[in-house]
Amino acid sequence: MVKHIVIWQLKEFVEGTNKEENVDRRDRGNMPGMRHIEAALNFYNETDAADVILYSEFDSRHDLEDYQSHPVHKVVKNTY
């Protein structure tokens, strides 16, 4: 099993909507090879803190690589 953890800042505006609205648009579905996924939003208004943390588990490194290149992941990644 491979665990994948990512933290990041959201863009202030994407496609005419603010970051709070874009969080609600994210795809929460699993992709092939993904065992588990969790995302959490930071509710503190500290400027140096990340906005989102993502924790996911995959069956193998190959499955993680497939996830990274999956078209749905690329769209979501470019949105944030």
Phi, psi of 77 (to 5 degrees): -60, -40
Residue 47's pLDDT is what? 74
pLDDT digits (tens, 9 = 90+) for 7-30: 988 888 877 888 777 666 555 566
Q: Give me the sheet containing 2-8, strands edge to edge.
A: 2-8, 52-58, 34-41
Task: Write down the pTM of the prediction.
Answer: 0.72
Domain count, the chain: 1
Domain holding 38, by residue range, is: 2-79
Angle made by CA atoms 80, 22, 67, in degrees to the nearest 5: 45
27-77: pLDDT as tens digits: 556 677 889 988 888 888 777 788 888 899 999 999 999 888 888 777 666
**Which CATH number does the domain housing residue 51 bear?**
3.30.70.100
Residue (of 70, 65, 49) closest to 4 by Cα position: 65
CB 17 within 8 A of CB 74: no
